[in-house]
Amino acid sequence: MSIVVLIGTPNVGKSVIFNHLTGTYATVSNYPGTTVDILRGKAKIKGDSYEIIDTPGIYSLIPITEEERVTRNLLTQIKAKVVVHVIDAKNIRRMLSISLQLIEAGLPVILDVNMVDEAKKTGMTLYANRLSSLLNIPVVETSAVRKLGLDTLKKEIGTYTYRDPISFHYSADIESVINAISQNLSQDYGFTKRMLAIMLISGDECSHGLIKNEQTYESIVNEITSLQEHYPCNLSYIISQQRQEFIDYILKSVVIYAARHHNNLLATLGRYSREPLTGIPILCFVLYFGLYLIVGKFGAGFLVDYMDRSIFSQLVTPWVEFYVRAGIPWEWLQTLIVGEYGVFTLGIRYAMVIILPIVGTFFLVFAFLEDTGYLPRLAMLVDSLFKHFGLNGRAIIPITLGTGCGTMAVMVTRTLETRRERILATFLLALTIPCSAQLGVILSLLSHNNIALGIWACYITMMFIMVGWISAKLYPGEKSSFYIEIPPLRLPLVQNILKKAWVRMVSYFVEILPIFLFTSFIMWLLDRFGVLSTLIKALNPLMLTLGLPQEITPAFLFGFFRRDYGAAGLYDLSNQGLLSDNQLLVAAITLTLFVPCVAQLAVMIKERGFVLSLFMVVIIAFLAFASGWFVQSVLTSYGIVL
């Protein structure tokens, strides 16, 4: 089976092209020895079977992040029939640098110039045929989100035959060293010897590690050292500069820019959304309408209430209970299915009634923000703030994903450049960022009392800022540079949002349902043998210290299995009228800051190690209950009734 590899920087449309080639059916696997996801799918093109691989974003074949390292290693180890390099037409000048690196590496490249519709709106005209002739590789123009040019891309993949691409030369002294190094390399390292020599000259540590066993390694290092003496700047900069000069020479004959004004509403809004004075009010607008109204009020309020009272309580639950009790003679099996901690009562009902509507509305909002191009602007907006926490604007991606699923967000922290940043982001995620289902339930529970909701939001925000600042001070280290692609602000297509949200919602539900069923089974088992009552009695004094009723203890036990499970338990107690608004506030704050769920903890251990993860959990548990006690004490001392 032939292999097609999709390459490109983040936000250029690789995922849309992958979905078009394969459908939505894909398998996700970790690259060996890492936690970086590789997306694989099957495709039929001109009657032949292909495996399509979507790789993590890459800015250069000389890697900085783990994602870039994985992508480069994959290119050297997999003999692909075609490497499709997807670029943003508007940023063709910068992105052609990777195209040339892929060509120099001897890879079978098809250049996909995506987002041509957006480029044309800026007054840009690209002569793709002329670019194809100059580079001597296939060049396809596409607009993936509008499904323009994708059939042409499939045709090029199906009929691809390798042809010698254009070669360009660096300055004479660099070419001399490239030739000398190439002659001293005795093995095949996946790329052409010429490309490996260029990467060695550029100071690529991975390449130096590969060839250290070469008998001529010392001679190679001496060649590079001698060459460096002729330049005041780093050799990687010199090579990049000369490569860019060649790109500019090519673009003069293939791209025309017409003078055009950009004063349209979306362009203006896009500019304002990343400037602090106007960006913060826009962010508040997004949070209010996106999280509070859509996820909180509509998802966690209306949809959850409708499914619980109109569908499950009136139709599904009575039907299930009737047939279980009528058809199953064993009491223990009846309670396992429809008892207080039954797999249907807790597992299926919590997942279907409480979690699914909230997660579904969140993924709709997130897909909308993602496709509009707002998230990179948000990263720029918070960059200056995040620097005080030892992070940069890029950390907003895992932080934002954390409001969807903390487990997924911890995995995404690997995109941060330094170990320090990954640790700090993981700690903040585990402590202060509620997942979408937990957030939706809490917003729904507190939305009837604006004062309580405001106190909860301010306290969690304060904890994020305070703990982030203190953690950065206690764990000093180097700050990494911040760079991110800024796509134009655009109106997304409804079908793309719905498709993306649906795929994520199904994937999420498939993940959580077994955990919910397993959790309810464990709770039933503990209750059956009296262990649960013992645990509840042991934790009751702690709940009483927080001013909470003992009935809330199981919700905290649920929260250890999944945060959203604990929040769902809080929802049930509130519906039963067992919690006052003061108690709801204390419970919401404590549960939001409570220890990460089992799945998130497992990923934390895998990513950060057992000892460090255990240390984080101990601190988080202390801060959660200390916060609950503090808020309850303030409310009681001043006689505040919300």
Burial class of residue 585 (count of CB atoms within 10 Å of its CB; 0-12, 13-18, 19+): buried
The DSSP secondary structure of 518-579, one letter per residue, reads HHHHHHHHHHHTTHHHHHHHHHHHHHHHTT--GGGHHHHHHHHH-HHHHHHHHHHHHHTT--
Residue 144, pLDDT above cutoff 50:
yes
Question: Domains in the chain, ordered, with CATH?
Answer: 2-158 (3.40.50.300), 172-257 (1.10.287.1770), 276-637 (no CATH)
In which region does residue 123 sit, left (phi positive, over 0), alpha (psi from -120 to 50) or beta (all else)?
Answer: left
Mean pLDDT on 613-628: 93
Q: Regarding predicted confidence, which is higher, 292 or 61?
A: 61
557-614 per-position pLDDT tens digit: 777 766 666 777 787 788 888 888 999 999 999 989 987 876 678 778 878 888 999 9
- CA 79 vs. chain centroid, Å, equals 28
The mean predicted confidence, pLDDT, of the chain is 85
Q: pLDDT by residue (tens digit) across 422-436?
A: 899 999 999 998 877
Q: What is the pLDDT of residue 603?
A: 77
Task: Please compute the mean of the pLDDT values over residues 64-81 and round it to a whole number.
Answer: 85
Q: What is the pLDDT of residues 377-421, one digit of tens each?
A: 888 888 888 888 888 888 888 888 788 777 768 877 877 878 888
Is the four-CA dihedral 543, 548, 549, 554 of positive or negative sign?
negative
For 216-235, write each residue's pLDDT tens digit. 899 999 999 999 988 888 89
Distance CA 23, CA 20 (A): 5
574 Cβ contact list (under 8 Å, min separation 6): 445, 584
The predicted model gives 172-185 an average pLDDT of: 91
Instruction: Flag the least confident range among 103-117, 149-163, 261-275, 539-553.
Output: 261-275
Confidence class for position 130, pLDDT limits 50, 70, 90: very high
Predicted model pTM = 0.67
- Token look-up 């990494």 returns 480
CB-CB contact of 111 with 32 (8 Å): no
pLDDT of residue 36: 58
**Contact assessment for residue 327 and residue 472, using Cβ atoms and an 8 Å cutoff:** no
Beta bridge partners of 256: 125
Q: What does the pLDDT read at residue 29?
A: 45
Helices 331-338 and 494-528 meet at what angle, rounded to 10? 150
> Tell me, what's the pLDDT at 599?
66
9-22, pLDDT tens digit by residue?
887 888 889 888 88
In this predicted structure, the answer to whether residue 32 has a pLDDT above a threshold of 60 is no
Q: Is the pLDDT of residue 307 over 90?
A: no
Name the residue with higher pLDDT: 463 or 523. 463
Query: Over the stretch 314-354, which tens digit does the pLDDT of each residue have?
Result: 889 899 989 998 888 998 899 999 887 788 887 888 778 87
What are residue 566's phi and psi, to 5 degrees? -65, -40
Q: pLDDT exceeding 70 applies to what percent of the chain?
A: 95
Mean pLDDT is lowest, of 267-271, 553-557, 561-565, for 561-565
Predicted local confidence at residue 504, as pLDDT: 77
pLDDT grade, residue 33 (50/70/90)? very low
